[in-house]
Structure 1
Amino acid sequence: MQPKIDLDFDQQHLWHPYTSMIEPLPCYPVSHADGVYIHLETGEKLIDGMSSWWSVIHGYNHPVLNTALHNQVDQMSHVMFGGLTHEPAVSLAKKLVAMTPSQLTKVFLADSGSVSVEVALKMALQYWMSRNEPHRNKFLTIEHGYHGDTFGAMSVCDPQNSMHSLYAGVLPQHLFAKAPQSRFEEAFDQSDLDDFAAKIQENKNQIAAVILEPIVQGAGGMRIYHPEFLRGVKQLCEQYQVLLICDEIATGFGRTGKLFACEHARIEPDILCLGKAMTGGYLSLAATLCTNEVAEVISQGQAGVLMHGPTFMGNPLACAVANASLSLLIDSSWQEQVCFIESCLKSELQPLREVSTVADIRVLGAIGVVEMRHTVDVKAIQRRFVEAGVWIRPFGKLIYIMPPYVITQSELSQLCKAIRDIVVNLE
Structure 2
Amino acid sequence: MPTLAERDHAVLWHPYTQMQTAPLPVPIVRGEGSWLIAEDGTRYLDGISSWWVNLHGHAHPHIAERVSEQLRTLEHVLFAGFTHPAAVELAEQLLALLPQNQARVFYSDNGSTAVEVALKMVLQYFHNLGQPERRTFLCFRNSYHGDTFGAMAVSSRGAFTQPFWPLLFDVEFLDVPVPGHEQEVLSQLDILLTRPDVAGFIFEPLVLGTAGMVMYAPEVLDELVHRCHQRGVLCIADEVMTGFGRTGPLFASALLPREQPDIMCFSKGLTGGTLAMGLTTCAAPIYAAFLSDDKMKALFHGHSYTANPVACAAALASLELTSAEACTHQRQRIADAHAAFRQEIEGQAGIRQVRHQGTILAVEYDPGEGTSYFSRLRDAFYQLAIDNHVVLRPLGNVVYLLPPYCTTNEELELLYAVLRRMRALVLDFLPAPTLPEYLHD
What interval of TM-score do these two structures reach, taking the shorter chain for normalisation? over 0.9
Conserved 8 A contact 2:110-2:276 = yes
Which position in structure 2 is the counterpart of 1:313?
A: 306
Q: Does 1:77 align with 2:75?
A: yes
**Aligned residue among 215, 218, 223 for 1:224:** 215
Q: Does 1:295 align with 2:293?
A: no
Q: Does 1:171 align with 2:168?
A: yes
Provide, for residues 82-120 of structure 1, a one-character-per-residue CA deviation record: whole Å limited to 9, x for no partner: 111101111111111111111101000110010000000
Which position in structure 2 is the counterpart of 1:91?
A: 89
Conserved 8 A contact 1:192-1:229 = no
Q: 1:125 to 1:189 in 2, by over 3 A?
A: closer
Q: Which stretch has the larger CA shift, 215-224 or 250-259? A: 215-224
Aligned residue for 2:279, secondary structure, equals strand
Aligned residue for 2:264, secondary structure, equals strand
Provide, for residues 306-353 of structure 1, a one-character-per-residue CA deviation record: whole Å limited to 9, x for no partner: 110111000010001101110111123333222221221122244433
Q: Does 1:366 align with 2:359?
A: yes
Q: 1:89 to 1:302 in 2, by over 3 A?
A: closer
Q: In the aligned structure 1, how far is the partner of 2:323 from the partner of 2:109?
A: 23
Conserved 8 A contact 2:212-2:395 = no
Which position in structure 1 is the counterpart of 2:435?
A: none
CA offset at residue 235 of structure 1? 1.1
Conserved 8 A contact 2:142-2:156 = yes
**Aligned residue among 189, 192, 199 for 1:199:** 192
Which position in structure 1 is the counterpart of 2:267?
A: 275
Identity within the alignment, %? 35
CA offset at residue 178 of structure 1? 1.7
Provide, for residues 64-91 of structure 1, a one-character-per-residue CA deviation record: whole Å limited to 9, x for no partner: 1010111011112111111111011111
Question: Which runs of 5 or more structure 2 residues have no equivalent in the other structure?
Answer: 428-441
Provide, for residues 206-261 of structure 1, a one-character-per-residue CA deviation record: whole Å limited to 9, x for no partner: 11111111111111221010112211111111210111111000000110001111
Which position in structure 2 is the counterpart of 1:181?
A: 178
Which position in structure 2 is the counterpart of 1:28?
A: 26
AA matched with 1:238: H
Q: In the aligned structure 1, how far is the partner of 2:386 from the partner of 2:358?
A: 25
CA offset at residue 40 of structure 1? 1.2
AA matched with 2:312: C
Q: In the aligned structure 2, how far is the partner of 1:189 from the partner of 1:381?
A: 32
Conserved 8 A contact 2:90-2:315 = yes
Conserved 8 A contact 1:246-1:272 = yes
Conserved 8 A contact 2:5-2:24 = no
AA matched with 1:96: L
CA offset at residue 280 of structure 1? 0.4
Q: In the aligned structure 2, how far is the partner of 1:395 from the partner of 1:166?
A: 21
Which position in structure 2 is the counterpart of 1:254?
A: 245
Aligned residue for 2:45, secondary structure, equals strand
Q: 1:24 to 1:13 in 2, by over 3 A?
A: farther
Aligned residue for 1:109, secondary structure, equals strand
AA matched with 2:224: V
Q: In the aligned structure 2, how far is the partner of 1:25 from the partner of 1:362?
A: 31
Which position in structure 1 is the counterpart of 2:319?
A: 326
AA matched with 2:315: A
Aligned residue for 1:426, secondary structure, equals helix
Q: In the aligned structure 1, how far is the partner of 2:153 from the partner of 2:134?
A: 16
Q: In the aligned structure 2, how far is the partner of 1:283 from the partner of 1:4?
A: 29
CA offset at residue 35 of structure 1? 0.6
Q: Which stretch has the larger CA shift, 106-115 or 383-392? A: 383-392
Q: In the aligned structure 1, how far is the partner of 2:136 from the partner of 2:145?
A: 16
Which position in structure 2 is the counterpart of 1:210?
A: 201
Provide, for residues 135-157 of structure 1, a one-character-per-residue CA deviation record: whole Å limited to 9, x for no partner: 10111111121100000000000
TM-score by length of 1: 0.93
Q: In the aligned structure 2, how far is the partner of 1:166 from the partner of 1:386?
A: 31
AA matched with 1:175: E
AA matched with 2:307: G
Question: Which runs of 5 or more structure 1 residues have no equivalent in the other structure?
Answer: none
AA matched with 1:343: D
Q: In the aligned structure 1, how far is the partner of 2:192 from the partner of 2:202?
A: 14
Q: In the aligned structure 2, how far is the partner of 1:335 from the partner of 1:192?
A: 34
Conserved 8 A contact 1:349-1:416 = no
Conserved 8 A contact 2:6-2:24 = no
Q: In the aligned structure 2, how far is the partner of 1:94 from the partner of 1:6?
A: 43
Q: Does 1:403 align with 2:399?
A: no
How many aligned positions are there?
418
CA offset at residue 199 of structure 1? 1.3
Q: 1:382 to 1:299 in 2, by over 3 A?
A: same
AA matched with 1:353: E
Which position in structure 2 is the counterpart of 1:118?
A: 116
Q: In the aligned structure 1, how far is the partner of 2:179 from the partner of 2:238?
A: 20
Which position in structure 1 is the counterpart of 2:388?
A: 388
AA matched with 2:60: H
Q: In the aligned structure 2, how far is the partner of 1:174 from the partner of 1:302?
A: 30
Q: In the aligned structure 1, how far is the partner of 2:139 from the partner of 2:49?
A: 27
CA offset at residue 162 of structure 1? 6.3
Q: In the aligned structure 2, how far is the partner of 1:192 from the partner of 1:20?
A: 36
Conserved 8 A contact 1:144-1:221 = no
Aligned residue for 1:169, secondary structure, equals helix
AA matched with 1:111: D
Q: In the aligned structure 2, how far is the partner of 1:254 from the partner of 1:4?
A: 42
Q: In the aligned structure 2, how far is the partner of 1:102 from the partner of 1:49?
A: 33
**Aligned residue among 330, 336, 339 for 1:343:** 336
